[in-house]
Structure formats: structure tokens, C-alpha cells
């Protein structure tokens, strides 16, 4: 069994983030899933911040295997990061649908404990405030899974997003719409607007786990971890948080300046520390 987590701790040695380089995304998925499983065993009503996109899929797959082996996630509370504005909830690419298909069902979560921001156009003006109120009333997120867009976004916080931002409507960039066109029949079907947890919202989660896999993410993840903290690259906000784990595969690790140090730190990680 993994060692218990301390409730408050710094990232490894007070570094910006603990960077864990794994051979393959599946290994990263296993690592993160094992950690989540140990947290849930200790605290069955653990609150997980869930992300959409391809990146977290190995985590969900590994968690589903933990469930098949007896892990019970039925009391876990989940908060999603974002949602498109104007897609009906039942549209297969709405994040309500994606979260249900990729997270809630395979992991056996209780649907009444899974929250996704409300992208309904009719009530969008208040949707951000309502989601913030829900998060606050609940007591926040224990562990937030994050991917990073090729333009540096986290959640749907596009470049230029305030580092203090809260859940609100955003306009997607051309690059994000192009990246996500693969999920739609035609590129113009990708919605233009979204509602997303802000960077300030994300930074309130007690542990951030940022994942990046593949060569296409090497430059952006290196910039997020090692470059300046800037709203121009929203993923760099992780440097403002005291407990961050960055999990990358070898292909995504090629642009780090300090890769050999990260490997050294991880090899010498005290066993009690957990992720």
C-alpha cells in the first residue's frame, strides 16, 4: 500500500513541481490511479477534479482496473473543469456526456455526485458564479487532474487568462478549436465559447496533477514548468501552487532543461512521501 499523504506538504524539495518522467502514458496512468486509489481508501468521499481530453484517459483506464479489483469510488465527488457553451447536454461531445461516458460510468461514480459547469446559453450569465458557489459550499477539490493544451491552456483558460480568474465564460482560440475539431463532424461545429474553472479556481485545489504525453506537448510542458509565470501561458500557473505533480512520458520530456535532475529526485524520493 502507498504511504498515507500528509494533508499539507510542499512539492519535492520545495521545487516548482515534482516532475515524474515515465516510459509510457499507461505507466503514468497507473501511477496516478494508484495514488488516487490510496487516497480514496483512506477517505471514501474524496473529491476528484476531472478533466476531459485524451490526456487523462490512461488514468481513468487504470482507475477502472482498480475498481474491477475492488476499489469503491461510489462516494467520490467529482467536479469537471469546463464545458462548451450552447451544446445540448445530450450531445455526445458535451463535457456532460464525455464525463459520463469516460468517467462516471466506467468508474462507477454516483451521477448525483458528479458536477459539470452548466453550458446552457439561456442561463450562462450566472453559470460561473453558481459553479463557484457549489465548489465553495462543497469545500473544494482534493486532487485536480489537468491536461495542457498545445497553446498552454489549462481547463479552457486560454492564453491571456487572468491568473486570478474564477469560473466564467471564455472564447476558445482558433488553435483549441482546431485541436478539438477531431471530435466533431466538421471544424465549424466546435463551439466558439466555453465555461471553465478559472486559474484562481484551479489553484485552490489541494493537489494539482498535470499530465502531458507525446512529443507535441514537450515544448509547452517545459515552458509551463521551467519558463516564467505568465498569463500568456496559463499552464505556468502551477508554479504558484505548493503541491504539484507533473507526469510526462519520455516523448513529452525532451524539452526540459532539468530532466536529469527530475529523474534523480524521483529515484531518490523518500518512500513515505507519496505523490
Contact segment (CB under 6 A) with ligand PGA among 36-44, 97-105, 126-134, 148-156 equals 148-156
Is 153 part of the annotated catalytic residue set? yes
CB burial of 122-153 (b: ≥16 within 10 Å; e: otherwise) equals eebeebbeebbeebeeeeebbbbbbbbbebbb
Q: According to CB under 6 A, which residues from 25 to 54 bind ligand PGA?
A: 53-54
Q: What is the distance between the alpha carbons of residues 47 and 142, in angstroms, rounded to a whole number?
A: 5
Single residue of 29, 49, 119, 149 touching ligand PGA by CB under 6 A: 149
Catalytic residue among 158, 179, 243, 249: 158
Q: Is residue 152 near ligand PGA by the rule CB under 6 A?
A: no
User: Taking Cα atoms as reference points, which of 49, 39, 47, 44 lies closest to residue 2?
Assistant: 39
Single residue of 12, 38, 47, 55 touching ligand PGA by CB under 6 A: 55
- Minimum CB separation of residue 54 from ligand PGA in Å reads 4
Q: Is residue 148 near ligand PGA by the rule CB under 6 A?
A: yes
Is 151 part of the annotated catalytic residue set? yes
**Are 36 and 63 a contacting pair, CB within 8 Å?**
yes
- Minimum CB separation of residue 34 from ligand PGA in Å reads 21
Residue nearest to ligand PGA (CB): 53
Is 219 part of the annotated catalytic residue set? no
Is 66 part of the annotated catalytic residue set? no
Catalytic residue among 151, 207, 241, 249: 151
Secondary element (H or E) of residue 22: strand 18-22
User: Taking Cα atoms as reference points, which of 220, 209, 228, 238 lies closest to residue 179?
Assistant: 220
What are the C-alpha distances in Å from 267 to residues 12, 174, 181, 226, 228? 12, 40, 39, 20, 27
Catalytic residue among 18, 30, 82, 83: 82
Query: Which residues of this chain interact with ligand PGA, rule CB under 6 A?
Result: 53-55, 147-149, 153
Amino acid at each position: 500500500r502507498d504511504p498515507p499523504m500528509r494533508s499539507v506538504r510542499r512539492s519535492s524539495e520545495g521545487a516548482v513541481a515534482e516532475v515524474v518522467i515515465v516510459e509510457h502514458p499507461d505507466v503514468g496512468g497507473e501511477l496516478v490511479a494508484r495514488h488516487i486509489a490510496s487516497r480514496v481508501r483512506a477517505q471514501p468521499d474524496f473529491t476528484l477534479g476531472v478533466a476531459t481530453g485524451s490526456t487523462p484517459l490512461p488514468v481513468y483506464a487504470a482507475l477502472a482496473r482498480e475498481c474491477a479489483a475492488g476499489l469503491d469510488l461510489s462516494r467520490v465527488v467529482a467536479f469537471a473543469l469546463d464545458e462548451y457553451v450552447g451544446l445540448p447536454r445530450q450531445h455526445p461531445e458535451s463535457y456532460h456526456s464525455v464525463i459520463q461516458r469516460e468517467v462516471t460510468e466506467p468508474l462507477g461514480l454516483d451521477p448525483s455526485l458528479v458536477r459539470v459547469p452548466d453550458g446552457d446559453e439561456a442561463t450562462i450569465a450566472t453559470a460561473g458564479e453558481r459553479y463557484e458557489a457549489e465548489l465553495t459550499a462543497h469545500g473544494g477539490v482534493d486532487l485536480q487532474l489537468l491536461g495542457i493544451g498545445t497553446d498552454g491552456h489549462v481547463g479552457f483558460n486560454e492564453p491571456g487568462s487572468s491568473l486570478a480568474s474564477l469560473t466564467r465564460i471564455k472564447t476558445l482560440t482558433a488553435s483549441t478549436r482546431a485541436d478539438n475539431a477531431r471530435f466533431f463532424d466538421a471544424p465549424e461545429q466546435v463551439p466558439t465559447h466555453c465555461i471553465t474553472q478559472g486559474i484562481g479556481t484551479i489553484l485552490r485545489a489541494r493537489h494539482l496533477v498535470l499530465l502531458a504525453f507525446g512529443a507535441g506537448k514537450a515544448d509547452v510542458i517545459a515552458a509551463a514548468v521551467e519558463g516564467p509565470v505568465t498569463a500568456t501561458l496559463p499552464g505556468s500557473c502551477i508554479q504558484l501552487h505548493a503541491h504539484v505533480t507533473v507526469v510526462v512520458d519520455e516523448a513529452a520530456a525532451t524539452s526540459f532543461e532539468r530532466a536529469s535532475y527530475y529523474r534523480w529526485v524521483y529515484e531518490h524520493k523518500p518512500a513515505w512521501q507519496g505523490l
